[in-house]
Amino acid sequence: MAAYESSRAAPFGAISIFRTVQFVTEVLANLATWNDGRITRNALGKLSDRELDDIGLCRGDLESIGR
């Protein structure tokens, strides 16, 4: 049985482009996560103290929500 080596070096610049795309994708994912947390904190911030107490939260908890 013959073995055939099929691996070869990546084309010039392919790794740099891959890492750039990976970095941009990670930044966009982090931005989306931050925005989701911001929207959640804003929505909870509009609730009254009584409504927050009903769901087991206080105003001081809002800053740590969504992080």
What does pTM read for this prediction?
0.68
* Contact yes or no for 59/49 (Cβ under 8 A): yes
> Residue 17 falls within a domain, yes or no?
no
The C-alpha atoms of residue 67 and residue 38 are separated, in whole angstroms, by 9
> Residue 10 falls within a domain, yes or no?
no
* pLDDT score for 10: 73
User: Higher model confidence: residue 63 or residue 43?
Assistant: 43
Closest CA to 43 of 35, 56, 29, 31: 35
User: Higher model confidence: residue 6 or residue 22?
Assistant: 22
CA 18 to chain centre: 19
**Per-residue pLDDT tens for 38-48?**
999 999 999 99
The answer, yes or no, to whether residue 1 has pLDDT greater than 60, is no
Number of domain units in the chain: 1
> Residue 18 falls within a domain, yes or no?
no
> Residue 12 falls within a domain, yes or no?
no
> Residue 13 falls within a domain, yes or no?
no
**Per-residue pLDDT tens for 17-40?**
999 999 999 999 999 999 999 999
